[in-house]
Structure 1
């Protein structure tokens, strides 16, 4: 029997915390709640590590963006943002920090449930079936080694660079389709299972973030080429490590 997925809800609004604890619990999840980033950090330090965190962006004290930045530097924990603002800027910043998805308040709990299921499916064993590369332990492209078990890319200097869940998923798609130009819509569908919205820049931001981790010169990329009007193409040679 597989363990019950643990979802952490971090939001300073008690009503939202109580709603999600009750609703997600009714749908088979183990749910913990925290009213602040500090409280969530304390839970993590006690060993209460969730399978996914739902973070409110606007919170007193440390906000969700800062907390996400900390998580991305220490773990591959999937993150879904809740934001009360519909402006693109806040959502783009969240995605650039490595969030896997976002939802604008007020939201329908059923939609959040669907997004949680999708993110967990992609970041767990279910994603492995959709990502043949993940069956192996590591692959090589250029002078770098991609460890698919540890979600890390190691360069010739021996320094391992951790990837967020979104970056890992995007790199897997690129490596599986090396040499093929993929449109933004295709990349969004393959990595997130959703269609692009008008002016959706999430893929561009994710590509930019991934380039900073695997390219020698992100401003003059040699591995992930841009094909204006068409999309992106991974041009590196992929071989078993």
Structure 2
């Protein structure tokens, strides 16, 4: 199916479930966690490698949360987290047999919201997932590969692109992640400080840099960048992704 037909076939409706991506090269662990999460009401995507996980996101769309093993061949959990954070703000929980304090601290400092060591309690794992999901809130848009915002705009996070009036517009990794943060909080103001910390967690960046990226993103997706329909400025606070045009 062509991109244009995909755009016309996908309608935007509120999310009614949480989608979890599990990545682990141990088939037993993968199946155990998948069954427990499905029994708890989650929609589950599973992959045995980082490469497969990234391909799955491009095919199925972003998850609400990623549950990643650390020690995997070719692409470990840290590298997969880094790749995810290039174009999204998907929260990560590490599920790992690694229990060295330095590794755990590094993982949380750089990438993860939490971690669970193997062997683990499935009930505790679900509780930790619930805690993170309560903090990030719901995603107002369906998690399709291409998210139809309205008749003018659609977003494909996995391929880092937008469709504006049916025309493909490439997005930079920073623009894609910025848009994901704003859309995940659609209808609510997101502070300058929060955006800066999520976009550049290990760098000293100021509001001027954020404004430049917002300006460029508006010029790519807004019908009239001088009067934004989607990315509204909340003076003295930050930015808000409008759920409906004002």
TM-score between both structures, scaled by the size of structure 2: 0.55
Q: How does 1:89-238 map to 2 (within 5 A)?
A: 89-125=102-138, 137-139=189-191, 145-146=192-193, 155-157=207-209, 158-160=211-213
Q: RCO (CA 8 Å, sep 6+): is it higher in 1 or 2?
A: 2
Q: Where do 5+ consecutive residues of structure 1 fail to align?
A: 127-133, 140-144, 162-237
Q: Deviations over 1:159-187 (max 9, x none)?
A: 449xxxxxxxxxxxxxxxxxxxxxxxxxx
> What secondary structure is seen at the aligned counterpart in 1 of 2:94?
strand
Cα 1:154–1:41 change in 2 (3 A) is same
Q: Where do 5+ consecutive residues of structure 2 fail to align?
A: 1-13, 140-184, 200-204, 215-234, 239-246
TM-score between both structures, scaled by the size of structure 1: 0.56
Task: Give the distance between the partners of 1:22 and 1:154, measured in 2 at CA.
Answer: 44
Q: Deviations over 1:94-148 (max 9, x none)?
A: 112221100111111111100000001101159xxxxxxx885255xxxxx3476
> What secondary structure is seen at the aligned counterpart in 1 of 2:60?
coil
**Where has structure 1 moved over 4 Å in runs of 4 or more?**
151-154
Contact kept in structure 2, 1:72 and 1:97, CA below 8 Å: no
Task: Give the distance between the partners of 1:124 and 1:3, measured in 2 at CA.
Answer: 12
Aligned residue-pair number? 152
Cα 1:125–1:72 change in 2 (3 A) is same
Of 98, 102, 109 in structure 2, the residue corresponding to residue 85 of structure 1 is 98
